[in-house]
Amino acid sequence: MITKWVGSRQSYWPDGEMVVEIAGGGRDYANPDMLVPKWADLGEGDEFTDPREAAKAAIAIAEAWRTSVEEPVTVRYGYTAGFTCPFDESTDGEVVAWANDVYEHLPKCAMCGGIAREHWKLPDDDLDEVFCSPRCCYLALAEAEEEPP
């Protein structure tokens, strides 16, 4: 399961399409046409663990870029699997819908409800609960020990 995304400006080869790309897997899986970050304060070049935050940043970067060029700028999302793989064009609304859908399907911590990027489990747990950190795992264990049998 992909648990991080990177937002970057791209000039897709060979036509030079201006794209703000959200690449699943982080920097190592972004397409090779990445431009030097210009709007780092908006999240350009950052890796996100929440796809909704990646989408919000990508849209903000695209809006800023659109004010400085006359050519169209699109936001696109996808996964390259480590290869060069230009992503399909999408609207900002489609990007937001995609991000919300991905977020809904990510594993969530049984203790705090946050995204469980790493899966921690209680010993002898037959409920298949996952936790986001050793801390949440410990808190759940302590809470379970306080409950009467």
Q: Which of 29-38, 89-98, 115-124 has the lowest mean pLDDT?
A: 115-124
Q: What is the pLDDT of residues 63-78, one digit of tens each?
A: 999 999 999 999 999 9
**Same domain flag for 124 and 146:** yes
**Same domain flag for 69 and 131:** no
Range of the domain at 54: 5-105
**Same domain flag for 117 and 75:** no
Look at strands 17-24 and 73-78 and give their pairing. parallel
| Better-predicted residue by pLDDT, 126 or 45 | 45
**Same domain flag for 125 and 97:** no
Phi-psi region of 123 (alpha: psi -120 to 50; beta: other; left: phi over 0): beta
**Same domain flag for 19 and 91:** yes
pTM of the model as a whole: 0.86
Q: What is the pLDDT of residues 94-149, one digit of tens each?
A: 999 999 999 999 999 999 999 987 778 877 766 678 898 889 988 988 887 776 65
- Confirm if 54 and 6 have CB atoms less than 8 A apart: yes
**Same domain flag for 119 and 77:** no
Give the number of C-alpha atoms closer than 13 A to the C-alpha of residue 62, restricted to the C-beta side: 23
pLDDT at 8: 97
- Percent of the chain exceeding pLDDT 90 equals 72
> What's the start-to-end Cα distance of the chain, in Å?
36
